[in-house]
A and B are shown apart, each in its own frame.
Chain A
Amino acid sequence: MDRRSPATILVVEDHEASRDALSRRLERRGYRTVLAADGHEAVSKGRSASPDLILMDLGLPGIDGYEATRQLKGDPSTARIPIIVLSAHAMTNDRDMALAAGGDDFDTKPVRFQQLLEKIQTLIKSQGSSLNSQ
């Protein structure tokens, strides 16, 4: 991976305004964003765009976020991409289910942006170091 180029984040979100706002805030922080509005698109963009991280909404049309996460993590070409699952549901077991599906971290919506950024940086950094160590 080219370390000089900005990291690419796949934002999977079916709510258009949320998708737009989140991607623009990430871009203001120097990230490149790729957008997906449903589960199928998330899986195909995950494969085609090779993002450095995926922000995965759970409630999606078509296949939901759990299934999309499972498929991406089950595909060797995308299995290494860290996924942060975002849920508007606040039930605690959403976290467990997201992690069980293969998600690397979990956060609730509405997003506390500063906290989310920290998680993103941490995961990308560890992803890079794990790649270097390989």
Chain B
Amino acid sequence: MPQAVPTTSRATELFEQYQSDLHQRTDRLFAGLLGFQWIAGILFALWISPLAWSGTVSRTHVHVWAAIILGGIINLFPAALGILRPGRTSTRFTIGVAQMLMGALLIHLTGGRIETHFHVFGSLAFLAFYRDWRVLIPATIVVALDHLLRGLFWPQSVYGVFVASQWRWLEHAAWVVFEDVFLLMSCVRGLAEMRQTAERTAALEQEVRTRQQAENDERALASLTSAIGLALTRGTELRAMLQQCTEALVKHLDGGLSRIWTLNDAERMLELQASAGTHTQLDGPQAKVPVGVLSVGMIALERTPRLSPAEQIDPHLDDALWARREGMVAFAGYPLLVDSKLVGVMTIFSRREYSSSVQATMAAVADGVAVGIERKRAEAELKRRARDLEEAHEIQRTHALQLSALVDQLRVTQRHAEAATRAKSDFLASMSHELRTPLNAIILYSELLQEEAEDSGQQGSITDLQRIQSAGKHLLELINGILDLSKIEAGKMSLSIETFDIRTMIDELLDTAAPLVQKNNNRLNVHCEDTLGAMNSDLTKTRQILLNLLSNAGKFTRDGVITLDARHSTLAGRPCVEFAVTDTGVGMTEAQTEKIFEPFTQADVTTTRKYGGTGLGLALVSRFCQLLGGSVGVQSAPGEGARFVVRLPTAGHDSSVDTGAPARVA
């Protein structure tokens, strides 16, 4: 049931309307009645005493004139009021008085007949139609006064007798008052019922209105929810999405102005993103509101919704003035929270009060909008990240392209270098061929001439011829050495890997090496481990390495001892055989040992002339050791001899060191 309190004003309004209707209706009723009374009064007069006789002369009785004139005055004026001014209090009172005066006239016209007095009672009953007991007061007074005065001065007119008791008016008045009491009670009860009816009607109206309002609200809320849902799920930008939300709030909730701010976390600042209704611009004075300032800022700070009359929002601004002018009634502001994290504020000024269901819906909308903002931000963040990633990829791609270009360039450079090396190698190969051919003739001739000189006993020229032969052989060694080095450089030095017994290899080697070592009156010592066994490597190059080292030692040692040691060891974790050639010769400085394995870098340029040799022997040793996956090192000091240590893997020669298939050089 609706509350009585809010219906009172409407009930009073209805009650007054009922009363007014009743008064007007009754006024019109009396207008007719008064007119009828006038006619009836005239007819009474004509019927009872139409003529006044004075002898045979008759004339119209004075009563007839009284009925016409007095009755007219009494009846027609209030009747006119009843028609022209119905509902007025004065009309009512006038009619009440007129009705009593007409009663008095009728009593007089009927010669004070007691039956005619009932007109008074009837009139009072009719006046009670007004449900206004005050009307009875002047009427009753008029009756009482009439009876008192006429009873005193003209009893015949009122009681139909010439003499009457001076208290008879009291009896009549008492009867009238007696009736008045009941009529008064009737009036009061009637009014009470009328009031009750008014209240019931008002309550009914209120209920109907409430129900209609609820239905309207429900429809509006359904539309709002769907509009918000659509706005939140559409793939638009953040601002467009929020603008659609504010527009939906204004449209479906009778909103006058709806706005949404988002929180800029870094600056603790609310930034206006959407505004719909009376204001749509986003660059006004509230475009940026710090948290804690104004109602919007307070909602953000306190993180609680605010519902209040529109006029109480920021009254120190012009907002209150604006609210009054625009007819704004209510204000609702909601913090936009996602998992208790503030992302913004949503506000609505409205032209009507919001029901609890509307408030609940707005709270739900606020939640939805908050999630929407968070999602849009996450999407923007994702997009930004994706763009960064794309840029990073782009950079990476560019780098890869640059790298690829660089590699291409490098490949070209390498090809050029290889071509150059090949060209050099080809040149050297063909040079060596061109050098060997005449050298072949020189050596053959020098040997031929030696033989012939020996036959003919020309001892003198033999020495010269031997020198020619020796120089030729030296030249040949040089050519061979250069050719070997260039083959290694060109990657054309091929290996011939086989398994051979180390001890046997050393014994065979010594046949060739011994004369070279011992030529400067040196002694050769060989120390081999008993369990040397076999190794898997290139036999020729291994021999070449040891031969070059021994020959080298023999060259730089005079009247000394040269020792060859062979034993097992390890090299980079793999089994190897270690050959050490130690001499007691001239030795070298540290600077000399550093470049001893470079071609043509014997201790100094005069060394070759002094000690002989090609200057290529140790360079070849170093290159061969590399080819075989091994290493060579030297320890020496001036005057203290030198110790060369070679380590070669005994097994599983790394084929990657192999320099590739041999190619024919024309």
Assess the A110–B443 pair: CB atoms within 8 A: yes
Assess the B483–A28 pair: CB atoms within 8 A: no
CB-nearest residue of chain A to B475: A110
Chain B: interface size category: 20 to 34
Assess the B447–A25 pair: CB atoms within 8 A: yes
- Per-position contact with B for A51-65: 1 when CB-CB < 8 Å, else 0? 000000001000000
A90 contact set on B, CB distance < 8 A: 432, 436, 480, 483
Assess the B448–A15 pair: CB atoms within 8 A: no
What residues of chain A have their CB less than 8 Å away from a CB belonging to chain B?
Answer: 15, 17-18, 21-22, 24-25, 28, 59, 88-94, 97, 109-111, 113
Assess the A18–B433 pair: CB atoms within 8 A: no
A28 contact set on B, CB distance < 8 A: 448, 451
Interface members, chain B 582-598 (any A CB < 8 Å): none
Assess the A24–B448 pair: CB atoms within 8 A: yes
13 more CB-based (< 8 A) A-B contacts, given A89-B665, A93-B663, A110-B476: A17-B441, A18-B440, A25-B448, A89-B433, A90-B436, A91-B662, A91-B664, A92-B494, A94-B664, A109-B440, A110-B436, A110-B442, A110-B472
Q: List 11 A-B contacts (CB under 8 A).
A: A18-B444, A21-B441, A25-B448, A28-B448, A88-B432, A88-B433, A90-B480, A94-B664, A110-B436, A110-B439, A110-B476
- Per-position contact with A for B454-480: 1 when CB-CB < 8 Å, else 0? 000000000000000000100010001
B500 contact set on A, CB distance < 8 A: none
Among B441, B451, B480, the residue within 8 A (CB) of A18 is B441
Assess the A21–B433 pair: CB atoms within 8 A: no
**Nearest CB of B to A18, in Å:** 4
- A94–B664 Cα gap in the complex (Å)? 7
Assess the A91–B436 pair: CB atoms within 8 A: no
If A18-B437, A59-B433 touch, whether A93 touches B662 (CB-CB below 8 Å) is yes
If A91-B664, A93-B662, A93-B663 touch, whether A109 touches B448 (CB-CB below 8 Å) is no
If A28-B451, A90-B480, A93-B662 touch, whether A17 touches B445 (CB-CB below 8 Å) is yes
CB-nearest residue of chain A to B439: A110
A25 contact set on B, CB distance < 8 A: 444, 447-448, 451
CB-nearest residue of chain B to A113: B447
CB-nearest residue of chain A to B480: A90
If A17-B445, A94-B664 touch, whether A88 touches B429 (CB-CB below 8 Å) is no
A17 contact set on B, CB distance < 8 A: 438, 441, 445
CB-nearest residue of chain A to B435: A88
B447 contact set on A, CB distance < 8 A: 25, 113
B664 contact set on A, CB distance < 8 A: 91, 93-94, 97
B494 contact set on A, CB distance < 8 A: 92-93
CB-nearest residue of chain A to B473: A110
What residues of chain B have their CB less than 8 Å away from a CB belonging to chain A?
Answer: 429, 432-433, 436-445, 447-448, 451, 472, 476, 480, 483, 487, 492, 494, 662-665
B445 contact set on A, CB distance < 8 A: 17, 21
If A25-B448, A28-B448 touch, whether A91 touches B665 (CB-CB below 8 Å) is yes
CB-nearest residue of chain B to A59: B433
If A93-B663, A97-B664, A110-B472 touch, whether A88 touches B440 (CB-CB below 8 Å) is yes
**Nearest CB of A to B268, in Å:** 85
Assess the A22–B444 pair: CB atoms within 8 A: yes
**Nearest CB of B to A35, in Å:** 14
- A123–B462 Cα gap in the complex (Å)? 32
Assess the A88–B436 pair: CB atoms within 8 A: yes
Assess the B444–A89 pair: CB atoms within 8 A: no
**Nearest CB of A to B494, in Å:** 6
If A90-B432, A91-B662, A110-B476 touch, whether A21 touches B483 (CB-CB below 8 Å) is no
A89 contact set on B, CB distance < 8 A: 429, 432-433, 665
**Nearest CB of A to B492, in Å:** 8
- A94–B662 Cα gap in the complex (Å)? 10
Among B437, B442, B443, the residue within 8 A (CB) of A88 is B437
B437 contact set on A, CB distance < 8 A: 15, 18, 88, 109
B663 contact set on A, CB distance < 8 A: 93
A22 contact set on B, CB distance < 8 A: 444
**Nearest CB of B to A21, in Å:** 4
